[in-house]
Structure 1
């Protein structure tokens, strides 16, 4: 099964960790609009793609064979102290070096994946850094919408994010350009996943890159949305599960979805979620997918089981023609 997961940060990490339990053919398409922390510093100082979300995806796909888990741990390690390296993740610095030496972010990510023994591939949604602009209400008493810029500003605003747009930081007047390999992966996928993750800064941006949006609309893949376990302070405070789907529809009215996965305990009104999912052409699947030991995180085994149920098929090593194949859905 050729699976493509779109997102960023911890949400994408959760999806990838679950997908590794189902198939080895996983492609992560990662947002590149981060402007905070270590990623923001490297982006401003070197003019490169922010590496943090890309690093997280690579670590999620790291193989347990040949020491891959050790490299994943090193990749995720952040320097302490009080010097110039404080707060930088080792993987961020390594990716920045590969970006500069190879001059091609896709080749750099493929090389990093080889180093980690990654089970799958990590691609940026664009090969140039992007900037998020948000229209926010509630920042003033006049009721007017205010435009704020930057991923950190949008994620931490005290107002209510109503809508976002995406711009190229190198070509402010031009539309963002998609990574061609990412577009090809979506068009060639058997199943595509959106979410979970920061809704306005990790999930929706993929729908605002024109070529990627068109690929998501056109692909014949099964499309699955995985909802967050809890609203995110700053971005989605007070959002119900169905409100997440409403915002998705507002940003991509032409997008049709086949299934929506949500944690049972995170959905106070299941009927409303089912109605919102139906508006996208999807059926809602409620299951216990939260990690019982860590608040706000998905359990990868439970999520993998729910994905199998959402697809309505069981994994089998026998192809449709009855011959043995390397992993085929039937």
Structure 2
């Protein structure tokens, strides 16, 4: 049987967990990563150097590489608060920024680093330009900038993107659309709905490719709701928002965690963006015309609730192999 072609789309800390597990399998793996982050180190770098933000790309690069742990620790090393202009920057972000400036492209920088670190698969920024995420709330108020969205109290109606430097409609990086069209399986998430997943799929070329592709599209539903983004959301609400932004029902399967997070467990000081566990609404999920795979996908570690990458990967592999047979 040929290797399943799997494309994972997202950003933040969610998709590296799944990518790390999938790279151990016999798959042809591609990651498409958001470039709308404007907070923290990534935000400061993109303002100073005018490149696509490197933070999410750095985490994916490490997850998909066979680099020794020492190398990963070097890339993840974050300068301390006493280090002036370097304070808070992970060394890996600065390396990606330097190579992006040298080569005139974040896309080319990531391809060079992928070869250097023996990445198993392909990594593409969703766009080669820094993007600004705009959120329009139900009350009509609009916020520009991913890092500012959670600060406005209210429900988000929709999000859209512009190129930060020009204000133009963003275009996809080279090979992104090709990867989607050639995939057997496409995985959305896990990750923040409005700030990690949607900033990829609302790029018009990517949205259109998701309409046209023959690949099975899987959504890995979040375990916890997120402050300022998905408060009070059920699993069906997550899928509904994705379909509303895509303009049609394209998701084939939703992976839903059914294991309970112990109430006394959550370290709310460390993970203050979390609110409560996502509630299930299987009737409304079925109304979205999706297949539901419910299982124990929960991993409790470091005071937080995360997806068990191995369990998620096994479901993705099973669906991908079936797609090849069909």
Q: 1:265 is paired with a residue of what secondary structure?
A: coil
Q: Give, in angstroms, the shift of residue 73 of structure 1.
A: 2.2
Q: Give, in angstroms, the shift of residue 254 of structure 1.
A: 2.2
Partner residue of 2:293 out of 285, 294, 302: 285
Provide structure 2 residue ranges, at least 5 long, that are not aligned to the other structure.
Answer: 261-276
Counterpart mapping for 1:1-330 below 5 A? 1-63=4-66, 67-82=67-82, 83-137=84-138, 144-172=139-167, 174-265=168-259, 270=280, 272-273=281-282, 275-279=284-288, 281-294=289-302, 295-311=304-320, 313=322
Question: Equivalents in 2 of 1:239, 1:254: separation in Å?
Answer: 20
Q: Deviations over 1:237-273 (max 9, x none)?
A: 1111111111111111224122110101368765x33
TM-score (norm 1): 0.86
Q: 2:159 is paired with a residue of what secondary structure?
A: strand
Does the Cα contact within 8 Å between 1:55 and 1:91 map onto a contact in 2? yes
Question: Equivalents in 1 of 2:33, 2:278: separation in Å?
Answer: 30
Question: Equivalents in 2 of 1:123, 1:200: separation in Å?
Answer: 20
Question: Equivalents in 2 of 1:278, 1:58: separation in Å?
Answer: 37
The answer to which of 71-80 and 196-205 deviates more is: 71-80
Q: 2:171 is paired with a residue of what secondary structure?
A: coil
Does the Cα contact within 8 Å between 1:68 and 1:118 map onto a contact in 2? no
Q: More relative contact order in 1 or in 2 (CA 8 Å, sep 6+)?
A: 2
The answer to which of 111-120 and 94-103 deviates more is: 111-120
Q: Deviations over 1:89-123 (max 9, x none)?
A: 11100000110111122221011112222111111
Structure 1 residues 293 and 128: CA distance shift in structure 2, 3 A = closer
Alignment: residue pair count: 305
Provide structure 1 residue ranges, at least 5 long, that are not aligned to the other structure.
Answer: 138-143, 315-327
Does the Cα contact within 8 Å between 1:76 and 1:89 map onto a contact in 2? yes
Q: Give, in angstroms, the shift of residue 274 of structure 1.
A: 5.1
Q: Give, in angstroms, the shift of residue 39 of structure 1.
A: 0.3
Does the Cα contact within 8 Å between 2:220 and 2:254 map onto a contact in 1? yes
Question: Equivalents in 2 of 1:104, 1:24: separation in Å?
Answer: 28
What do you get for the CA RMSD once the two structures are aligned?
2.1
